[in-house]
Structure 1
Amino acid sequence: MSRAVERKEHPLSMRMPETDIAIIDRAAALRGRSRTEFVRDAAVRAAEEVLMETVPIRMSPAGFKAFMATLSGPVAPVPEMAELFSRAAPWESKASSSDLDANSHKDGASRQKKSSGKRR
């Protein structure tokens, strides 16, 4: 007697425009994956995101109480974050930002003069 073997894989077939296939093939090649692997991973990742957005998180009453206590507790500063926020962004250097501010005021004033002269 032969035993019925349970299938572990199920085929999925889609019809797609050639342009979509070309994009998928290019991205799959950049990742070093086959089209099937790439599409399967992308579809599973998208499905997981949807489920994480819609599935309620369940926890025991004791777990919820501990969770709320953590949220309500005192804030502990993270030194690395404090240091990061104290630094100026690369585009916010003092010399360039003051130059930009001065130039933007001059440009705005000259534009106003030109435009007000044209209206008359």
Structure 2
Amino acid sequence: MVATATRSSRFGLRATPQQEAVLRRAAEITHKSMTDFILDSAYQAAEQALLDQRLFVVSGEQSRALLDLLDRPAQENEGLRDLFSRRAPWDN
């Protein structure tokens, strides 16, 4: 989340006492306010949901163009070769 952006939208939430207790404890151990913890967590979940989207609706023309691209013979791609030769950041 961008820390320098001004917050201008308001959300109202209702939680069970158990949910509130878990959220408060998690906020405490991460040294965040409840608002920051909930907003950061929701934002990360939203980003992941968008990245995990697997259904893409396209027009017939777009579908044909994609299938044409997929039917092409493989080509050398030095950028991809370089990228895949590197160690993933989370493996460091």
- 1:83/1:46 CA distance change after superposition, 3 Å: closer
Residue 74 of structure 1: aligned partner: 73
Question: What is the total number of aligned residue pairs between the two structures?
Answer: 74
- Structure 2 residue aligned with 1:65: 64
How many Å apart are 1:43 and its aligned residue? 0.7
Give the counterpart letter for 1:10 in structure 2. F
Q: Which has the larger radius of gyration?
A: 1
Alignment gaps of 5+ in structure 2? 1-8, 88-92
What is the root-mean-square deviation of aligned Cα atoms in Å?
A: 3.4
Distance 1:75 1:50, change over 3 A: same
- Structure-2 change in CA distance of 1:55 and 1:9 (3 Å): farther
Q: Which structure has the highest helix share of the two? A: 1
Matched, 1:19 2:25: yes
Unpaired segments of 5 or more residues in structure 1? 1-7, 29-33, 90-120
1:2-17 counterparts in 2 under 5 A? 8-14=9-15, 15-17=20-22
Shift of 1:52: 5.0
What is the aligned partner in structure 2 of residue 39 from structure 1? 38
Tell me the distance in 1 between the aligned counterparts of 2:85 and 2:26: 45
Deviation at 1:68, TM superposition (A): 1.2
